[in-house]
Amino acid sequence: MRFSEKNVLITGAAGGIGSTLVERFRAEGARVAVADRDVSGIDAEAHLPGDLLDPGYADGLAPAAREALGGLDILVNNAGVITRGPVTETSDADWSLSFGVNVEAPFRICRAAIPLMAEAGGGAIVNVSSCWGGKAPGPNHALYCTTKAAIASMTQCMGTDHAHQGIRVNAVCPNEVNTPMLRSGFAKRGFDPDTAVAALGSTVPLGRLAEPEDIRDVIMFLASEDARYMCGALVEVNGGKAVA
């Protein structure tokens, strides 16, 4: 019960990694506020549906979670979108969507959450970046990598700037994870997702792709007291398959 009495806000709570986070934080004693476009059917202490592209919604999420839960100790900025292709195939709409969800929304949520956490004596924020961008860019995903580099850099800045307030800000940088984000990409390109996941898994030194739980457990470690001396870290979780 590492998180008993802790109040946690999780974005992207309906997704592959997000849903495992919600279930496990609650199993370990936390009260959880879930944020996603559709949160119906998710067991949680507070439901905060909305679109992260709406600045008012993103600005209001942290205060709404504090109000609903009675406090805010932990924030996981997990929601994300992926756009594929080189810069020359990237539209203005791709730019707005990717920066809006992957960078601007976590910026807005952190900007509101940090003063609330500081007032309460501290807290922990975990951002979900990626090996692609957080550590080194991968091929043919220029915009996605750029946004993940931005959130990685913002994590390092906030990790330094807010440590004195007892707020630890860190990021996890996964390589490929077997979630709807990855599987829908295979399906769109005409591949059978199961076959493609197995094939890609065989390129990983550990012999398989990450499951959402493999990433969840590192996020929860960073959110927990076990990571009490970690601030601004970018933690790569890759099964031995580094991108650079």
Q: Between 55 and 86, name the residue whose CB sits nearer to ligand NAD.
A: 55
Q: How far is the CB of 211 from ligand NAD (least distance, A)?
A: 10
For residues 148 and 154, what is the distance between their CA atoms, to the nearest angstrom? 10
DSSP string, the chain: -TTTT-EEEEESTTSHHHHHHHHHHHHTT-EEEEESS--TT---SEE----TTSHHHHHHHHHHHHHHHT---EEEE-------B-GGG--HHHHHHHHIIIIIHHHHHHHHHHHHHHHTT-EEEEEE--HHHHTBPPTTBHHHHHHHHHHHHHHHHHHHHTGGGTEEEEEEEE--BSSHHHHHHHHHTT--HHHHHHHHHTTSTTSSPBPHHHHHHHHHHHHSGGGTT--S-EEEE-TT----
Q: Between 51 and 225, name the residue whose CB sits nearer to ligand NAD.
A: 51
* Count of positions (residues) in the chain: 244
Q: Between 8 and 166, name the residue whose CB sits nearer to ligand NAD.
A: 8
Q: How far is the CB of 210 from ligand NAD (least distance, A)?
A: 7
Q: Which of 8, 144, 173, 174 is catalytic?
A: 144
| Residues near ligand NAD (CB under 6 A) | 12, 14-18, 36-37, 51-53, 78-81, 101, 128, 130, 174, 176-177, 179-182
**What is the greatest pairwise CA distance in the chain?**
51
Residue 57 bears catalytic tag: no
Q: How far is the CB of 120 from ligand NAD (least distance, A)?
A: 25
Contact 69, 44 (CB under 8 A): no
Q: Between 7 and 127, name the residue whose CB sits nearer to ligand NAD.
A: 127
Contact 150, 100 (CB under 8 A): no
Q: Between 120 and 213, name the residue whose CB sits nearer to ligand NAD.
A: 213
Q: How far is the CB of 158 from ligand NAD (least distance, A)?
A: 17
Instruction: Catalogue the active-site residues.
Output: 144
